[in-house]
Each structure stands twice: as C-alpha cells, then as structure tokens.
C-alpha cells in the first residue's frame, strides 16, 4: 500500500513539476498544486524533492521528522548540504542521476536507521522516499513470509505430481508417451517458476545490508564454472564459448559480493544467450575492468533485439518473439528480471542492446573490489 501511494504521488509530482517548469502537457491550477502538496505533506512516508542543482524544493512533515530538521530552518531552494552533510546521501543523489535508475541506501540517523529510495526524474530532478527501516523491515518480513508460505504450499503438491509423473513414465506406452512427457515438462517448468518467484521476491525485498566488506569474487573462474554447467546443452547444439579477458588497469577482475547470486546472474545471462544462438555459432563473453568497474558483455549470434525487447526484456514475465529462440527449452520469464535485481543488489546495472555486426549484446557493470585481491 505504501509503495502504491508513493508511486501515485510520484507520478502526480512529476506532472506538477513539469507544469511549473514550463511544460504544457499537464495544466494544473493553483488549487490542484496546493492539493498535491497537501497530499505529499500528509503522506505516511517522507518525501524530499531536489532540483538539478541539489536544492531542496519540497520536504514534507514526515521527512522532517525522520531527518530531524524543519522547513522553518531550511527554506525552499537551499542546498542539500544544509539539510544533511552526510556524504552518503549526497552520493545517493548523484549516483541516481548518473545511473538514471532508482537507488537505495540505509542511513543511520540518531537511534534509528532510515531506508532511502531515490527516484530519477526528468531533466535531472530527483525525489527521495524516506522510511524508518524498522517499520519497513516489518512490512517486508510479512511479505516474504507470505511468499514463502505460498511457495511451500505449491511445492508440496508439485513434488507429489512429479512423483506421479515419474511413475507414469516408467509405465509409458506408445499411446500415452507424448502426454506423459508433456506432463513432466510442464511440472518441471512450474517448479522452476515457483523457485524463481521466491528468489525474485527475496531479491526485491532485500534491504541494503549494513556497511561490511563482502567476500571477493574472481569473475574469470566464475564465468568458466558457469559455462561448465551449461556445456552439455551447448555441445548438443555445437555452441561453444569464446571467453576473452581484456587488460585491467586496476588489477585483477575481482568484485565483492555473494558468489552464489553472481553465479546465478551469469548463468541466466549465458543460458539466455544459448537459447537464442544458432546451432554451431559461439557465444562470446568479454571481460574488462578499469576505472573502478568490471564490465562483462555476453553476445549471441541470433537475430538481435527489437525495440520493445530492449525496453522490456528485464521485466518479469516478459517474453519476446518466440521465433527468435533457437532452442526448444522454455523459460519462466523471470530469468532476466532476476539478473537485474542481482546486479542492483551489488551496486551494478545491466543493459541490453544489439551488436553492430548482429546478435544481442547484454552488458553487466559491477564495481571493482577496492584494494588488492590476489
């Protein structure tokens, strides 16, 4: 409910800002602007609106309470530094503009910890939704328990049905072989769907962890390990891996993070490339590090991506043109949504485009581990 309210207010606020800055698509009267500001001020979450020069344009009552400030001491138009000298908050705003994506931050404030969600807007405007981490944790815990309960209730009958399918397969004859095979295939797909939904829910509901060093993960051996798991499927279609590592001016290609989730990220990317690669054509993976970042690009030799694919392929359950696929294996429609969430939880991002000479190109950018790691 809070997320829905935040979204509605954000959409309305975007229209209001567009109007006040001379855009004519939405015409709001002074009464409507006043009503909108009243809704923002009464919202159960904190709202902070910043212009392109990091000046505070709007701060509601809840944000004042959470940040321990007052509009009386912070007139509109004052720089963000007057509200909070915390470099983490300033960095959050600038990172949001640079990535042009929502960013999250846990910010200690007095005896509590705040959860900040920054949202990029048009023309470099940024809004920040602020909540108490304790109340947010309670909401997310409740949601995760609900998802876990549903997943558990689905897994029990699924397991029973899979056993029934195995039993039928042992007694299959020419008249029902196709039906039994289809039953087993669909049950396995449903099982994968339940597991992927649970994993995506956990990723989306994960709050930023307290600042603590994550273990180092070397990307080159991780990529080789991921391909080892996919090799039987690839070799059956004559698809090989072309893995290239460029020179790294910042040292080895090592990031910090959860190795199992990074394994899942690259498994999903390579599996996706394998699905769309023509038989006998290689999947090319290029690994390069520099400027504090590691970039991994995965390219297939398929027909490439449509404009709609490029815009929506990381959305849950989005499926592109099935004629593009070169493999009969079906997916759950959640693989690339999981990729995006894992990248975000590792302070990275993932983008999709078409390679100039053909095929789809998916690029993952992850921050390089600080300090030497051998």
User: Residues with catalytic annotation?
Assistant: 152
Identify whether the C-beta of residue 48 lies closer than 8 Å to the C-beta of residue 56.
yes
Percent composition of the chain: helix, strand, coil (DSSP 3-state, to 5)? 50, 20, 30
How many whole angstroms separate alpha carbon 136 and alpha carbon 1? 12
Write phi, then psi, for 81 (nearest 5 degrees). -60, -25
How many whole angstroms separate alpha carbon 339 and alpha carbon 328? 22
Residue entry with tokens 């000479």? 357
Residue entry with tokens 């983008």? 351
CB atoms within 10 A of CB 7: 12
How many whole angstroms separate alpha carbon 86 and alpha carbon 107? 9
Helix locations, 171-287, DSSP H: 177-205, 219-235, 259-276
Write phi, then psi, for 108 (nearest 5 degrees). -65, 135
Positions of E strands within the chain: 46-50, 56-59, 103-109, 112-120, 126-132, 216-218, 241-245, 254-256, 283-290, 293-299, 349-354, 360-367
Identify whether the C-beta of residue 324 lies closer than 8 Å to the C-beta of residue 276.
yes
How many whole angstroms separate alpha carbon 80 and alpha carbon 158? 53
3-state secondary structure of 40: helix
CB atoms within 10 A of CB 137: 15
Within 13 A of 97's CA, how many CA atoms are on the CB side? 14
Pairing of strands 241-245, 293-299: unpaired
3-state secondary structure of 36: helix
């Amino acid at each position: 409910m809070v997320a829905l309210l935040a979204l509605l207010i954000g959409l309305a606020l975007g229209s209001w800002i567009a109007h006040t800055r001379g855009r004519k698509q939405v015409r709001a009267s002074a009464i409507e602007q006043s009503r909108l500001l009243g809704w923002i001020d009464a919202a159960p979450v904190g709202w902070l609106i910043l212009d392109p020069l990091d000046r505070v344009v709007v701060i509601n009552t809840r944000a004042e309470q959470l940040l321990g400030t007052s509009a009386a001491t912070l007139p509109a138009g004052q720089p963000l530094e007057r509200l909070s000298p915390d470099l983490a908050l300033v960095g959050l705003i600038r990172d949001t503009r640079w990535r042009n994506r929502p960013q999250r931050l846990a910010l200690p404030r007095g005896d509590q910890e705040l959860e900040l969600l920054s949202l990029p807007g048009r023309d470099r405007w940024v809004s920040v939704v602020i909540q108490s981490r304790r109340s947010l944790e309670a909401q997310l815990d409740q949601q995760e328990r609900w998802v876990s309960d549903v997943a558990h209730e689905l897994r029990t009958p699924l397991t029973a049905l899979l056993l029934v399918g195995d039993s039928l397969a042992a007694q299959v004859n020419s008249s029902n072989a196709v039906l039994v095979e289809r039953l087993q295939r669909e049950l396995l797909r449903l099982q994968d769907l339940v597991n992927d939904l649970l994993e995506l829910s956990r990723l989306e509901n994960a709050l930023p962890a307290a600042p603590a060093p994550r273990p180092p993960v070397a990307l080159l051996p991780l990529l080789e390990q991921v391909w080892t798991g996919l090799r039987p499927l690839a070799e059956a279609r004559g698809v090989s891996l072309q893995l290239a590592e460029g020179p790294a001016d910042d040292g080895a290609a090592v990031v910090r993070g959860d190795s199992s989730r990074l394994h899942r990220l690259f498994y999903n990317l390579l599996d996706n490339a394998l699905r769309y690669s023509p038989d006998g054509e290689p999947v090319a993976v290029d690994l390069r590090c520099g400027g504090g970042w590691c970039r991994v690009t995965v390219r297939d030799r398929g027909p490439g991506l449509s404009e709609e694919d490029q815009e929506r392929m990381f959305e849950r359950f989005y499926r592109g043109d099935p004629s593009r696929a070169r493999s009969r294996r079906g997916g759950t429609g959640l693989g690339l949504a999981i990729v995006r969430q894992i990248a975000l939880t590792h302070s990275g991002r993932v983008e999709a485009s078409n390679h100039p000479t053909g095929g789809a190109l998916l690029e993952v950018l992850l921050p390089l581990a600080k300090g030497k790691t051998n």
